[in-house]
Amino acid sequence: MRANQMKTSARPVFPFSAIVAQDEMKLALISSAVDSSIGGVLVFGDRGTGKSTAVRALAALLPPMQAVSGCRYGCDPSAAEAWCEECRERARQGPLKHALVPVPVVDLPLGVTEDRVVGALDLERALAQGVKAFEPGLLARANRGFLYIDEVNLLEDHLVDLLIDVAASGENLVEREGLSVRHPSRFVLIGSGNPEEGELRPQLLDRFGLSVEVSTPVELSERIAVVKRRDEFERNPLEFIAKWKRQDDGLRRRIVAGRKRLHGMVLPDPVLESAARLCMQLGTDGLRAELTLIRAARALASYEQADEVAVAHLRRVAPPALRHRLRRDPLDESGSSARIERAVLEVFGERRPP
């Protein structure tokens, strides 16, 4: 694939393990890499807190995946039920060839046109040769990977509608300019933004599995570490990456191991019950909150190689899984995080010393 070859020659990326603090954000990103069904991560916070850096670093961290060679949607050769029509056709003609490709991380720039997102009529071929051909868009490229939207809260409404639809169905349906195309488009949605600049539509908010808040470090030692590492990276990127390679490799191995263990993970009934009680206590709407909470706890447990999912895991993923699903309460001056903490204390009791 041409696009992927280009990717490898890209500029060096800041290593994931070298990001200072911001543990919740790192944890959420890793969890969604372990279990993509969690449904993406929303990173809201101040400027210059390493939001974009972390997402790009995660992309560089993920192990490559098997994809059908020549498939424009990067279909998984071992998942026949999710193939695109072209791959089905190919499979009828003979065994599919496949190759290792990097996990796609597709940037959705703010002012992008709808054509670029969903795909459109191939203009060049239509005008020059009179052929009606489909030119896949960003949603096709993001299949099986990550779709990253910086400043997601400024995204135009018609694109938001589109994303909400595709993120829910896992399939992109194009009906325009005489084309009628459908292709798989399953991706992990990652959004970042600064809440001061605008809010997110509730429907889109709900599509994100986890939501984390990042803030500028106010600890002097943290701040110094951030500046030091950033400076080191800017002065000699390759050397810096080499220095952090071992940590990054370890992280990658644990993510892969976590993915393997995920389906065998034991989920005891008391933990399920605790999750339900926590959601009821907070009055979150719908089952999605509970489902995400459980999935995130499971992903965390298997990433950390625990024997089974425990309440301690729930406790840690509760803020990111529930924070964006609370109703505003005019009487309660405290932020969502504080409310969740309080509910966690009420439901689970005091944290026991480890």
Tell me which residues are annotated as active site. 288
The 10 Å Cβ neighbour count of residue 112 is 16
Q: Which residues pair with 135 in a beta bridge?
A: 120
Pairing label, strands 134-136, 119-121: antiparallel
The nearest distance, CB 117 to other proteins, in angstroms, is 11
131 contacts other proteins (rule: CB under 8 A): no
- Output 14 or 244, the one with its CB closest to other proteins: 14
The binder of other proteins chosen from 23, 89, 165, 177 (CB under 8 A): 177
**Considering only residues 138, 190, 314, 317, which one is a binding residue for other proteins as defined by CB under 8 A?**
138
Q: Is residue 352 close enough to count as binding other proteins by CB under 8 A?
A: no
132 near other proteins, rule: CB under 8 A: no
Minimum separation from the CB atom of position 305 to other proteins (A)? 30
DSSP string, 217-241: --SHHHHHHHHHHHHHHHH-HHHHH
| Residue 126 within binding range of other proteins, rule CB under 8 A | yes
- β partners of residue 192: 43, 150
Residues 6+ apart with CB under 8 A from 66: 76, 77, 78, 98, 99, 100, 101
Q: In the bound complex, what is the minimum distance in angstroms from residue 115's beta carbon to other proteins? A: 7
Name the one range near other proteins by CB under 8 A: 93-101, 108-116, 249-257, 289-297: 108-116
Question: How many angstroms separate the Cα of 248 from the Cα of each of 197, 205, 212, 252, 255?
Answer: 34, 30, 22, 6, 11
Single out the segment in contact with other proteins by CB under 8 A; choices: 86-94, 117-125, 163-171, 306-314: 117-125
In the list 328, 349, 352, 354, the residue contacting other proteins (rule: CB under 8 A) is 328
Q: Which residue in 141, 261, 323, 325 binds other proteins (CB under 8 A)? A: 141
Please check whether residue 108 is in contact with residue 119, taking contact to mean a CB–CB distance below 8 angstroms: no
Binding pattern to other proteins, positions 26-55, x when CB under 8 A?
--------------------xxxxx-x---
CB 302 within 8 A of CB 258: yes
By CB under 8 A, residue 145 contacts other proteins: no
Rounded to 5 degrees, φ, ψ at 102 are -65, 150
- Rule CB under 8 A: say whether 230 interacts with other proteins: yes
d(CA 20, CA 290): 30
Amino acid at 249: D
Among residues 161 and 346, whose Cβ is nearest to other proteins?
A: 161
What are the E-state strand segments in 83-242? 98-101, 105-107, 119-121, 134-136, 146-150, 171-176, 179-184, 188-193, 210-214
Give, in order, the Cα–Cα distances in Å from 40 to each of 26, 83, 85, 156. Answer: 13, 22, 26, 19
Q: Which of 99, 154, 256, 257 binds other proteins (CB under 8 A)?
A: 154
- Contact pattern for other proteins over residues 186 through 225, marking x by CB under 8 A: --------x-xxxx-x--------------xxxxxx-xx-
For the chain, the distance separating the N- and C-terminal CA atoms, rounded to the nearest angstrom, is: 49
Could you tell me the CA-to-CA distances from 350 to 312, 315, 333, 345, 354 in Å, in that order? 11, 11, 23, 6, 12
Choose, by CB under 8 A, the member of 100, 123, 168, 345 that binds other proteins. 123
Q: What is the size of the binding site for other proteins (CB under 8 A)?
A: 65
Using the contact rule CB under 8 A, the part of the chain among 91-99, 259-267, 309-317, 324-332 near other proteins is 324-332
Own/partner long-range contacts of 165-168 (Cβ < 8 Å, ≥24 apart): 166/139, 167/39, 167/40, 167/207, 168/207
Stretch that binds other proteins, among 3-11, 79-87, 242-250, 272-280 (CB under 8 A): 3-11
| Residues in contact with other proteins by the rule CB under 8 A | 2-3, 6-7, 9-11, 46-50, 52, 106-107, 109-111, 113-116, 121, 123-124, 126-130, 135-136, 138, 141, 150-151, 154, 156-158, 177, 194, 196-199, 201, 216-221, 223-224, 226-228, 230-231, 234-235, 328, 330-331
